[in-house]
Each structure stands twice: as C-alpha cells, then as structure tokens.
Amino acid sequence: MPLLRPQRPADLPILVGGDSPFDEFGPRGPKAVPAPPDLDSDGGLTVVTAAGEVAGDVSWRWQQWGPNAGSRCPMIGIWLHPAHRGVGLGTQAQAELASLFFQHTTTHRIEAATDVENVAEQRALERAGFRRDGTLREAQWRDGAYHSCHLYSRLRTDRTAV
C-alpha cells in the first residue's frame, strides 16, 4: 500500500499542524477543503501508516527560477502528527513524494527548506536523497523572530541510496 494518498475530508481535522517549534505561525483554523493531489499545480497528499492510519501530510508549491517551464520546481513540505514522528515516516514520505514527481512529471529539481535547528527534518531529507544547497539567511518570520533555513534539493540525476 502506498504511503501517500489523496486527502479526504475526514483527514482534515487531524492535519492541523502548529504543534512544533518549527511550525509556530500563529492561530490557524482547520483546512476547509482537501488539498488538490495534482502534481502539476500546488497541492498536497495525506501520509498514512501501513495500518492505514492518517499520520500527517505532505504539500508542494511550485517555484520559478526563470521565465520558462524548465525553470519551475516544486518546493515540498511535511508535517507529521507527534504520535507518528521518529519512526521513519518523514524519510519515507518525502522519498515517495520525490519519486511521484520524477515518475509522473518532467521535474528535474525538487526543493525543500527547513530551519537550521530542525535536525529531524534535515536528517529525513538527507535520508530521502536530498542534498544541502546552502543557507537562506533569516528568510522566515516565525514566532516573533527571523529564522535562517537550509535549502535542500534533489535532482532527477542524483544518485541516491533510498
């Protein structure tokens, strides 16, 4: 059974986020509608465990590094419910999302950014085949301060052990 599947309305009350120090962006209501699963536009998928339990979500937003189609790339994100952290789901879900992009779109580069102190996400990305490109200085305003992030990418041509 795949780890990622399209979001269902019943998933939304679980996909609340906002409980980790790296996700402190102020009060947020539950999502009103499931994110679209289409890879070619901004969207998201639900992360499920092998037992079919809703564990979190992955999402992506398309970035544009130049005016042409070949300069687009998805920037991915992930949130897992605290009960499902630290058992490898973050690694697997981001590896599976990368595989979906490479298999079903012509994407060459996938990006992710995470706080310089978010060691769990840095490790999960590296285990999912992403490499660190550099540091985005104080790029994120969160919880009353600017925070620096590491930018990661995985290229279609990168060799990976995942």
Ligand X SMILES: CC(C)(COP(=O)(O)OP(=O)(O)OC[C@H]1O[C@@H](n2cnc3c(N)ncnc32)[C@H](O)[C@@H]1OP(=O)(O)O)[C@@H](O)C(=O)NCCC(=O)NCCS
Q: Which residues bind ligand X (CB under 6 A)?
A: 20, 22-23, 56, 77-80, 85-91, 114, 118-121, 123-124, 127
Nearer residue to ligand X within complex by CB, 107 or 114 = 114
By the 8 A CB rule, do 120 and 86 touch? yes
Q: Smallest distance from the beta carbon of 81 to ligand X, in angstroms?
A: 8
Q: Smallest distance from the beta carbon of 95 to ligand X, in angstroms?
A: 10
Nearer residue to ligand X within complex by CB, 13 or 88 = 88
Nearer residue to ligand X within complex by CB, 10 or 119 = 119
CA nearest to 115, candidates 147, 91, 141: 147
Q: Smallest distance from the beta carbon of 113 to ligand X, in angstroms?
A: 7
- Residue whose C-beta lies closest to ligand X: 90
Nearer residue to ligand X within complex by CB, 27 or 67 = 27
